[in-house]
Amino acid sequence: MFVHSVYFWLKEKDNTEAQQALLAGLKTLESIEAVHTAYVGVPAETRRPVIDHSYDFSLVLVFTDQAAHDIYQEHPVHLKFVENCAHLWDRVQIYDAVLA
């Protein structure tokens, strides 16, 4: 399995329209056939020194392998998401992992 974890920081954190637009865009990624499992979330209310809760949205996509991830990266729905939503975020941080 290949796990693609993406964290987004909005340019305008308190802008409800920006929040809704990014959430809607993230939800479109769930339709990509190469995606095995998708989770879209916001920071939990847990507060401990080791937890970074500064982001606004998280996206965790699970693929069967890196080849499926590579298909996702070039998929028209993913490219359209980036085109339509990139103006909303100030920062994106990605962590890719494979099962050990």
Would you tell me the crossing angle of helices 66-74 and 76-85 to the nearest 10 degrees? 60
What pTM was estimated for this model as a whole? Answer: 0.95
User: For residues 92 and 4, is the Cβ–Cβ distance under 8 A?
Assistant: no
Q: Where are the domains of the chain?
A: 2-98
Amino acid at 41: G
* Best CATH choice for the domain 2-98 from the list 3.40.720.10, 3.40.47.10, 3.90.1150.10, 3.30.70.100: 3.30.70.100
Query: For 9-39, what is each residue's pLDDT tens digit?
Result: 999 999 999 999 999 999 999 999 999 999 9
Average confidence (pLDDT) over 45-69: 97
